[in-house]
């Protein structure tokens, strides 16, 4: 196994990772960034991004991520293809294995590995992804204003996104597969009391209908075994996200769902010199702009950590 030394190693290339890179590079920390499996992250599977400040006309998700990358490169970030496949945070410097064949020994590690939306995994969902099928109501709801849409899920995310959609769309059907919801009582009462949200209990998605765009959904009622079609133009999946944090499980404090726990108000994890930002540690907001903000925090925290470490070393050398 080859070994290489790095000052700041950034794992992941969404808005959090690239923003961390921009700040770290401008601070002279010579960051190396590994892009991971999906360079650019979740935004590369989004269409128009209209809610990121600074783009008054909106921007396509993949274009925005290319802009982020260019900006990170401009200040000298060493951006590389490759996937972090393992870590060892038991000794310092921290060790991160890339593609099972290179070990990077890093003075500071910034985790920005993001999260992946869970999907239903039915063929029509894949076919119509980006053509009316979305896993982000806040990103794409606006395209269905005054139209009828459906959302799948019965957790807090589904309730929150259904409430959001109800303010934009004419009618929101909520497909809940059981006769009860997992969401907190307050979120449930919010959707139950919104006149243009109709909850369809015991309802599963049999198929999303449409060729080039969503035209409807065929619903399967698992209590009556009945199938029927609803005309809709937007179909939202809100059945949870999975943070991409499996390789850190043995070292970092995480919640039950695998989101990395950070010290409130900072990006610090329980391991000194390891910082987390973006969706890998945020299950509440999950926006490009909040991810970017937390990437900035991670770079600033890393910079402070490294300065303190340098001073420590200087004191030891002088004493």
CB within 8 Å of 196: residues ≥ 6 apart? 166, 169, 170, 171, 172
- Cβ nearer to ligand NDP, comparing 114 with 154: 154
258 sits near ligand NDP (criterion: CB under 6 A): no
Query: Contact region for ligand NDP (CB under 6 A) — 81-89, 95-103, 150-158, 298-306?
Result: 150-158
What element of type H or E holds 229?
Answer: strand 226-231
218 binds ligand NDP (CB under 6 A): no
Instruction: Establish if 223 lies at the interface with ligand NDP (CB under 6 A).
Output: no
Candidates 68-76, 103-111, 152-160, 305-313: pick the segment binding ligand NDP (CB under 6 A).
152-160
Kindly indicate which of the ranges 68-76, 131-139, 234-242, 245-253 contains the residues binding ligand NDP, using the contact rule CB under 6 A.
234-242
Per CB under 6 A, 283 contacts ligand NDP: yes
Whether residue 140 lies in the annotated active site: yes
Binding status of residue 152 toward ligand NDP by CB under 6 A: yes
Closer Cβ to ligand NDP, 158 or 288, answer by number = 158
Residue 239 within binding range of ligand NDP, rule CB under 6 A: yes
- Taking the C-alpha atoms of residue 311 and residue 294, their distance in angstroms, rounded to an integer, is 26
Of 106 and 135, nearer to ligand NDP (C-beta) is 135
Q: Which of residues 91-130 bind ligand NDP (CB under 6 A)?
A: 120
Asked if 153 touches ligand NDP (CB under 6 A), the answer is yes
DSSP lists the bridge partners of residue 229 as 218
φ and ψ of 115, to 5 deg: -140, 160
Q: Which two tokens stand for residue 284?
A: 């509440």
Point out which span in 1-9, 140-148, 237-245, 291-299 binds ligand NDP (CB under 6 A).
Answer: 237-245
Q: How far apart are the first and last CA of the chain?
A: 37
Active site residue 139: yes
154-258-202 Cα angle (round to 5): 15
| Residues 275-298: b if buried by 16+ CB within 10 A, e if exposed | bbbbbbbbbeebbbebbbbbbbbb
Which burial class, exposed, middle or buried, applies to 28 when counting CB atoms under 10 A from its CB (0-12, 13-18, 19+)? exposed
Q: Per the residue annotation, which of 48, 99, 100, 136 is the catalytic one?
A: 136
Nearer to ligand NDP, 202 or 270 (CB): 202
Cα separation, 1 vs 172, in Å, equals 54
Phi and psi for 84 in degrees, rounded to 5? Answer: -75, 120
Which member of 26, 177, 190, 261 binds ligand NDP (CB under 6 A)?
A: 177
Residue among 237, 236, 254 at smallest CA distance from 246: 254
Upper half-sphere CA count for residue 268 (Cβ side, 13 Å): 12
Give the one residue of 131, 182, 218, 261 binding ligand NDP; rule: CB under 6 A: 182
Q: Check residue 81 for interaction with ligand NDP (CB under 6 A).
A: no
Q: Which of 39, 62, 76, 240 binds ligand NDP (CB under 6 A)?
A: 240
Do 113 and 131 contact (CB within 8 A), yes or no?
Answer: no
Taking CB under 6 A as the binding criterion, the range among 59-67, 146-154, 261-269, 300-308 that sits at the site for ligand NDP is 146-154
Q: Find out whether 126 and 149 touch, Cβ atoms under 8 Å.
A: no
The residues annotated with a catalytic role in the active site are 136, 139-140
Query: What residues make contact with ligand NDP under the rule CB under 6 A?
Result: 120, 152-158, 160, 177-178, 182, 239-241, 257, 283-284
């Amino acid at each position: 196994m080859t070994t290489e030394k790095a000052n700041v190693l950034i794992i992941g290339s969404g808005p959090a990772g690239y923003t961390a890179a921009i700040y770290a590079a401008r601070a002279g920390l010579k960051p190396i960034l590994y892009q991971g499996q999906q360079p650019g992250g979740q935004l590369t599977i989004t269409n128009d991004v209209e809610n990121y400040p600074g783009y008054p006309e909106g921007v396509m998700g993949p274009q925005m991520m290319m802009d982020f990358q260019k900006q990170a490169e401009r200040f000298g970030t060493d951006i590389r293809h490759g996937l972090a496949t393992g870590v060892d945070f038991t000794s310092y410097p921290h060790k991160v294995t890339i593609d099972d064949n290179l070990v990077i020994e890093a003075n500071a590690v910034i985790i920005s590995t993001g999260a992946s939306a869970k999907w239903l995994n039915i063929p029509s969902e894949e076919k119509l992804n980006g053509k009316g099928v979305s896993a982000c109501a806040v990103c794409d709801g606006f395209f269905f204003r005054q139209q009828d849409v459906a959302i799948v899920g019965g957790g807090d995310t589904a309730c929150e996104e259904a409430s959001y959609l109800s303010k934009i769309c004419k009618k929101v059907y909520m497909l809940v597969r059981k006769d009860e919801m997992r969401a907190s009582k307050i979120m449930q009462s919010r959707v139950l009391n919104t006149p243009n949200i109709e909850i369809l209990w015991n309802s599963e998605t049999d198929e999303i209908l449409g060729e080039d765009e969503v035209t409807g959904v065929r619903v399967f009622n698992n209590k009556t075994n009945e199938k029927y079609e609803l005309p809709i133009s937007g179909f939202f999946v809100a059945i949870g996200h999975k943070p991409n944090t499996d390789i850190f499980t043995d070292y970092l404090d995480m919640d039950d769902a695998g989101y990395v726990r950070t010290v409130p108000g900072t990006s610090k994890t329980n391991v000194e010199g390891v910082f987390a930002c973006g969706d890998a540690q945020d299950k509440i907001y999950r926006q490009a702009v909040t991810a970017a903000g937390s990437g900035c925090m991670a770079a600033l925290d890393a910079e402070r950590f490294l300065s303190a470490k340098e001073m420590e070393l200087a004191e030891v050398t002088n004493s």
